[in-house]
Homo-oligomer: A and B are copies of this chain.
Amino acid sequence: MGALKVGELGEFLREQRRSAQLSLRQLADAAGVSNPYLSQIERGLRKPSAEILQQLAKALRISAETLYVQAGMLDARERQELEVPAAILMDPSISERQKQVLIQIYESFRKENAAAADPAPTGGPRNGPGGPDDPKAPDGPDDAAATA
């Protein structure tokens, strides 16, 4: 399960530290972690938590993203694939209700497409014991969508 490449991450961190002319203790102090622990991270014998990683990134003035990519936690190309529902949910400019509407429509589109492409899905993983979610007409976006 080691999705984390701790070794590479450690080397990368040490490189960055050296290149920033920082001693182990200096960086550890700046990042708010203990010196020996940073040492162990750099040598790959410890998997730093998300928080520590973030603090190290800050102290090193490198983007946290860079670190995550190096750690193998962020796929470089994954960054382009921000999922639509997640993006919608994070958007502060629309209401929760509106988010739900958008997501519903989005899901119904996907379902529609899947049905068109694969009419015979044997053993449907549909666990919904309830009814089929409204495929179209995702309840009333009328209020806003109509105004468009």
Contacts and interface: CB of A to CB of B under 8 A. Distances in A.
Interface of A: 1-4, 12, 15-16, 19, 21, 26, 30, 32, 47-51, 53-55, 58-59, 61-66, 68-71, 73-76, 78-95, 98, 101-113, 126-128, 138, 140-141, 143-145, 147-148
A34 to B, nearest CB: 13
14 contacts: A1-B51, A47-B50, A48-B50, A50-B68, A63-B78, A63-B81, A64-B68, A64-B74, A82-B87, A84-B87, A84-B102, A94-B109, A104-B148, A108-B148
The copy count of this chain in the complex is: 2
Contact of A83 (B66, B71, B74, B108): B66
A3 B147 contact: no
Given A104-B145, A105-B148, 10 more contacts: A3-B55, A4-B50, A19-B85, A21-B128, A66-B87, A70-B90, A80-B90, A86-B87, A94-B109, A108-B144
Given A19-B85, A93-B113, A68 B66 contact: no
B82 A106 contact: no
- Give chain A's interface secondary structure class: helix
